[in-house]
A and B are shown apart, each in its own frame.
Chain A
């Protein structure tokens, strides 16, 4: 690692760690002695922001994590939520931002590879991925390069291991030019009685390392991820791991067989922090210790030092623990799949992590020093916000504007991306990528589950609290619009350098928003990830705040599935009120190049009430779409495109507080759904009874989309929306 070498060259006394002076003192105080070089390395990674959440923990405590459906909350490799009839869904999200900014293909592929291990580690069988990707402007060649290879990395890895990437989102914004964001989520199904935890509770249980061999790749990956990028970052390429999806697929099949035969007692994946993190956390969670002989570890190259072996983040490795009685049956499964494996140690009663190399003791650290890292109090300061009202000229006609909005990089069809992902393998994808507001997967309990991932860095930049509330409200609408009931979330919070009070203030406000909304929507947060230091020291560019929410919904009756596709004869009803809330809107960004103004505000009670109303009236609803980015006009056009049918709508019927036509058309007010229905009057009457704004605005028919005095041919809408990404990125549609 380039930077580490520099530190070493600075002199024999200079400590080779990223820890601050205060943290070094604290380590000596807790341990009561000077750690040796290997121990410093292990403490350095475990105390990194990435592994320890030392800055974010106090804020994260705000999040609601309990609920009657929560089977496993935060603190384990992934959370698990009950979906009924003895089945649960494990899901988790992580970023691989820093590696992907340097090596987009390897970075994104190993991101996918890492998140799937978290699902495996709790005993679940992985069934889908979601990816939430953020890049600089699509016009920038550097962003195109990152985009092309991030997508290829996700595709090549996911396709090979046979886990479909069924949903996701992509946002383009100049602030992600150097620091692209690669958030990947994975979900899996698990029977309640087959859940495995990462806690080794029984002394004498055996530790088995399985999968890829340990090499020098990824050494100090987490400390690399806990710093800003700069010119030397290119030299950090060895901190990016090497993907091997074939081995991962064998691990998935072996795990599945081992769980079925109940051969596993505890398990951890080797991700950030490698063997150090997995072994210390497994022992610490079980209130025990562990003894590891690193001479037993399968290595990729000769001459690796204990330091490299303990800190390596080589991919495709899992740590299993089981008792002596079941050991041989477990090893037989690894042999069947030709998976390299080694018995490397055992669980001890002393609460220390002891590492030996043959007979020589290398490390002996209390597990709490590695697993319980002191919190760092960060200063918060509200930055100057672009709150003032943006006065933009009112356009003369909106015909060309809708086409421009539909072809905008943030709204246009994502088919160029998801067509590269095998999004159907597994025979569970009922509402497929591109066909609905959420991905709906058939569940083994006879029902179905829905997933969506949402973010809005523009709104969160203008107002991190309201913006974050808005993100989770949008997720709620997406899940609801698929016909499912939202039951839980995981979050991924990507921000700049938390040592800057303005950045930390944004982070804290964002968490506060997520917490308030998650409580109101009864969707507890069962896991998540924080990624700080998404800044570039060369261009002095920090990313806009990018909290990403992945929401899980469930439906007991598969007949409840809905998509936005309008059909001939559907009446069109708009639920909710359109307000002139234009700050941070895609319309302002694309057409007027400004982010100023107030962002849309969520009425939490009304939002929840509206979602509940939609779900209890599904029998009257044939098409259903959430209204958010791009506003009402874009959402209506998308429903026409999806149903391959035109619509005649009367703009004056839309319930609105807007004085201007462009605001009515493109406002991103929350709480709105567009519905295709055969019973418009009954639906509107029921809504009004509940105190929800609702109006019939027209009918689906013909080959033209009419909105007030404006009209568009269906083909023009389709061409604008469908092909703009292909035009930039190439390939045959």
Chain B
């Protein structure tokens, strides 16, 4: 069973439940943050959208929810943890992943489809994807500009922790294809163990052809191995 945690004000929680349960076919449960018991689940999703109205900044209050202790426990046990958009912000605030997310470079909220390139297949969520492949997926955020120190960046590079980058149609991480001013076009990173992935784009919105494409579906399908 996979848990999707609902914090007060979460708003892509039901979308994650829908995509995982009805599209991918993995047993999934929506869990109120106060009732989260990590031992019951084989994996967990911190959903996108907002949490706590994103007062102060995205994901920061959710990071102090007792549920995050359970998420940390699962991460340490090597269970898969996926943070989407606001969930990525929460993973950074909870220091499960390095770096920070700043306001988009031009200060506008952006909802649009972008190209994403698979930079690393050495993670739980991308091991079945093709290295270097490019797929379409939507973003929707106001605070998605990934930032990290130069040293931190070298560390990410060395450990192959950069999982996705924003690229143009020919697969290059061009300035034009960077929607928010992220450092080196970074769209998603993993922990060293490869079981924790944070990403700004929304795979739960890119899992059905009728909603515009299925490029993000393999990320959710990875949960199948943890399903029961």
Contacts and interface: CB of A to CB of B under 8 A. Distances in A.
A730 B108 CA distance: 10
A659 interface: no
A731 B108 contact: yes
B217 interface: no
A219 B105 CA distance: 39
B18 interface: yes
Contacts of B108: 419-420, 731-732
A553 B211 CA distance: 19
A219 B19 CA distance: 44
Contact of B105 (A430, A442, A732): A732
Contacts of B9: 160, 246, 249-250
Interface string B6-39: 1011111011001100000000000010000000
A249 B54 CA distance: 12
Interface residues of A, number: 35
B117 interface: no
A404 to B, nearest CB: 27
Interface stretch (B45-53, B65-73, B93-101, B162-170): B45-53
Given A430-B211, A432-B212, A732-B106, A424 B49 contact: no
- The B contact surface, by secondary structure, is mixed
A421 interface: yes
A420 B111 contact: yes
Given A159-B50, A160-B54, A732-B105, A427 B204 contact: yes
Contact of B15 (A336, A423, A427): A427
Contacts of B54: 160
B54 to A, nearest CB: 7
B8 A427 contact: no
A426 B15 contact: yes
A8 B204 CA distance: 58
A160 B53 contact: yes
A586 to B, nearest CB: 27
B205 interface: yes
B106 A249 contact: no
Given A161-B11, A162-B12, A732-B105, A419 B53 contact: no
A646 interface: no
Interface string B197-227: 0000010110010111000000000000000
A155 B135 CA distance: 27
A51 B12 CA distance: 36
A541 B112 CA distance: 38
Contact of A420 (B10, B55, B109): B109
A731 B112 CA distance: 14
15 contacts: A155-B109, A159-B142, A160-B53, A246-B55, A249-B50, A250-B8, A420-B110, A422-B109, A424-B111, A426-B14, A426-B15, A427-B19, A427-B211, A558-B210, A732-B106
The 6 tightest CB contacts between A and B, nearest first, are A162-B11, A246-B53, A427-B15, A422-B140, A732-B106, A249-B9
Interface of A: 155-156, 159-162, 244-247, 249-250, 253, 336-338, 418-430, 432, 442, 558, 730-732
